[in-house]
């Protein structure tokens, strides 16, 4: 398969344990990418994100969490403390990666790509707060984004994900 359209597959991210995870591992999946924080007013969305994952319950759908301390220093945790917090307090089973920067001069390359139309070919949308959501199709292409106040269980998000999943069936 030729990949001439910009996509997330060239990027690698760090797991909580420090191992690198190529995003090409999510090839052929619809992916919702979310920057998270444990001490944010939107933190209850962690539970809603897991509910969304459980409700859609499709092998070709994944949620990826990227903790960040970029907004109000609302992610004081690091390493395994982040995954423990997410799992114990919110029942999170989807992958949560190592803490990254999603804005500023040291922004992670994945978030440079997601937030800049010149790189992703589709949208300009820099996260302005925690729980900004990016929707990526089965080809790794950015197709939409949702602001933090858009709840994970909203019909807008669910319909967008279902529409992409139905394109493959």
Q: What is the dihedral of CA 26, 50, 128, 15, to 10 degrees?
A: -50
Report whether pLDDT(33) > 50: yes
Phi, psi of 49 (to 5 degrees): -65, -40
Treating both helix axes as pointing N-terminal to C-terminal, what angle do 45-56 and 80-90 enclose, rounded to 10 degrees?
Answer: 70
Per-residue pLDDT at 4? 66
Domain ranges of the chain: 12-168
Q: What is the structure's pLDDT at 167?
A: 87
Closest residue by Cα to residue 66 from 137, 124, 115: 115
What 3-state DSSP class applies to 120? helix
How many whole angstroms from its chain centre is CA 138?
14
Q: Are 138 and 60 in contact (CB under 8 A)?
A: yes
- Which three-class secondary structure state does DSSP give residue 97? strand
Percent of the chain exceeding pLDDT 90 equals: 95
Q: What is d(CA 143, CA 120) in angstroms, rounded to the nearest whole number?
A: 9
pTM of this prediction?
Answer: 0.96
Contact between residue 56 and residue 161 where contact means Cβ atoms under 8 Å apart = yes
Indicate the fold that domain 12-168 takes in CATH: Glutaredoxin (3.40.30)
pLDDT at 2 > cutoff 80: no
Which helix (H) or strand (E) covers residue 84, if one does? helix 80-90
Residues that are catalytic: 40
């Amino acid at each position: 398969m030729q990949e001439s359209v910009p996509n997330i597959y060239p990027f690698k991210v760090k797991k909580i344990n420090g191992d690198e995870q190529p995003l090409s591992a999510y090839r052929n999946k619809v992916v919702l990418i979310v920057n998270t924080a444990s001490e944010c007013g939107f933190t209850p969305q962690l539970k809603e994100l897991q509910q969304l994952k459980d409700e859609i319950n499709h092998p070709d759908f994944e949620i990826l969490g990227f903790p960040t301390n970029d907004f109000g220093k609302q992610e004081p945790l690091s390493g395994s403390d982040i995954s423990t917090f997410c799992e114990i307090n919110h029942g999170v089973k989807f992958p949560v990666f190592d803490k990254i920067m999603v804005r500023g001069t040291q922004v992670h390359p994945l978030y440079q790509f997601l937030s800049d139309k010149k790189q992703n070919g589709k949208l300009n949308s820099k996260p302005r707060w925690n729980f900004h959501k990016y929707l990526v199709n089965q080809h790794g292409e950015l197709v939409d984004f949702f602001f933090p106040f858009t709840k994970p269980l909203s019909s807008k998000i669910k319909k967008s994900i279902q529409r992409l999943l139905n394109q493959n069936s």
